[in-house]
Structure 1
Amino acid sequence: MSYSFIQPKIKPLLSIFTKIWLWAMLILTLLFIIGAMLLSVKIYLINSNSIELQEKYNETFQAIKNIEDKTKTTLIKRDMTLDIYNKNLILNQSLMNLFNLVPDGVTLTSIYLEDGSLKIKGITPTKDHFKLLFEAPLKSIFAISNTTFYQLPNGWYNFVSINKIDIAQMESLSDENR
């Protein structure tokens, strides 16, 4: 006997709403897992790229240090070259001044210039001519000035003049020129 007018239907295990929620949760879970994997791959790529960039940075930094070292060396060489150039200019001016000091009648045969000393050899008509016109300016420039004369058969004199400058005086002159 049956108490119902309709035929019983088999009840599904899961309702339609449960199936929708189940599929939605499954899709969301899969999307979350795929997103996590993509994020981990992206982090790995960023880390490997970061390591490469750090290596490039280190290489660039080392290249900059090398260029700075070369620049320092070049600046030192430039300063040394300028110093030599300035000393040569001063020496050239000093030699021109020395040649301008040589009076008429005095002939120079050789000049030896060393650090702090000047050796001049030449010929003069008389000792007095040399002492008056050439030795006096030399004594005003140099701290020590000694001259030796040798008479030639024609009456003129060979002379050797050795002049030395005081080292302290030379340092003060170089400081004034800077």
Structure 2
Amino acid sequence: MSYSFIKPKIKPLFSIFTKIWLWAMIILSILSIFWAIFLGVKIYIVNSNSQDLQAQYDEKLKAIDSIKEQTKITLIKRDMTLDIYNKNAILNKSLMNLFNLVPDGVTLNSVYLDNELLKIKGVTPTKDHFKLLFEAPLKSIFAVSNTTFYQLPNGWYNFVSINKIDATQMENLTDEN
């Protein structure tokens, strides 16, 4: 026996409105999960790229420091080379001046030049010839000038002239050049 004129319909568990909201929430949740995964992957990629870039930066910084050190060393070597070149130029000029002082008839066998010492060995026809033409200019240049003569069998003289300059004269000479 039935008390109703219509046949009963089964009532759904969820209404259409609830089903729409349920599907929207499921889709939104899935999209949020994919978005979170995408962001996580993107952050991982950025971090790994950042680490690679930091490693490259560190390598470049080390290379720059190495080049700076090499530049310093090169500058020091250049300065040393220029100093040697200048000293050689002064020495060359001094030697040319010395050789210009040597009179005719005097033959030089050896010349030893140190910072404060000039040692000359050679042959001269007479002591007076040497003293007048060569020893006088040497005494005007050097603070101490000593010459020793040894007579040869042919009548000529071997000589050894040791000439010393003091430190103040050396400073004055280098200042003038």
TM range (shorter): 0.7 to 0.9
Q: Equivalents in 2 of 1:147, 1:62: separation in Å?
A: 62
Q: CA deviation at 1:8?
A: 4.5
Aligned length: 176
Q: TM-score, length-normalised on structure 2?
A: 0.86
Partner residue of 2:110? Answer: 110
TM-score (norm 1): 0.85
Partner secondary structure for residue 121 of structure 1: strand
- Counterpart of 2:66 in structure 1 is 66
Alpha-carbon spacing, 1:11–1:100, altered in 2? closer, same or farther (3 Å): same
Question: Which letter does structure 1 place at the counterpart of 2:56?
Answer: K
Give per-residue Cα distances to partners, 1:27-68, cap 9 Å, x unaligned: 111111111111112112222222222222222222222222
Q: 1:175 to 1:23 in 2, by over 3 A?
A: farther
**AA at the equivalent of 1:152:** L
Question: Tell me, what secondary structure is at the counterpart of 1:132?
Answer: helix
User: Which residue number corresponds to residue 93 of structure 1?
Assistant: 93
Amino acid at match of 1:18: T
Give the letter aligned to residue 87 of structure 1.
Answer: K
Which moves more between the two structures, 99-108 or 57-66? 57-66
Give the secondary structure class of the aligned counterpart of 1:93: helix
What residue in structure 1 maps to residue 31 of structure 2? 31
Which residue does 2:56 correspond to in 1?
56
Which residue identity does 2:121 align to in structure 1? Answer: K
Structure 1 spans left out of the alignment, 5+ residues: none
- Structure 1 residues 32 and 118: alpha-carbon distance in aligned structure 2, compared to 1, 3 A threshold: same
Q: Name the amino acid aligned to 2:22.
A: L
The verdict on how the C-alpha distance between 1:21 and 1:90 changes in structure 2, with shifts beyond 3 A counting, is same
Alpha-carbon distance in 1 for matches of 2:128, 2:35? 110
Q: Which deviates more, 165-174 or 108-117?
A: 165-174
* In 1: Cα distance, 2:115 partner to 2:101 partner: 20
**Other-structure match for 1:84:** 84
Instruction: State how far apart, in whole Å, the 1-side matches of 2:41 and 2:50 are.
Output: 14
Q: CA shift at 1:175, angstroms?
A: 4.6
TM-superposed deviation, 1:176: 4.6
CA distance in 1, matches of 2:141, 2:162: 12
Alignment deviations for residues 131-177 of structure 1 (CA, whole Å, 9 cap, x no partner): 22211221222111111223334433322110011123224433554
Q: Give structure 2 stretches of 5+ with no counterpart.
A: none
RMSD (CA atoms) = 2.2
Helix, strand or coil: the match of 1:104? coil
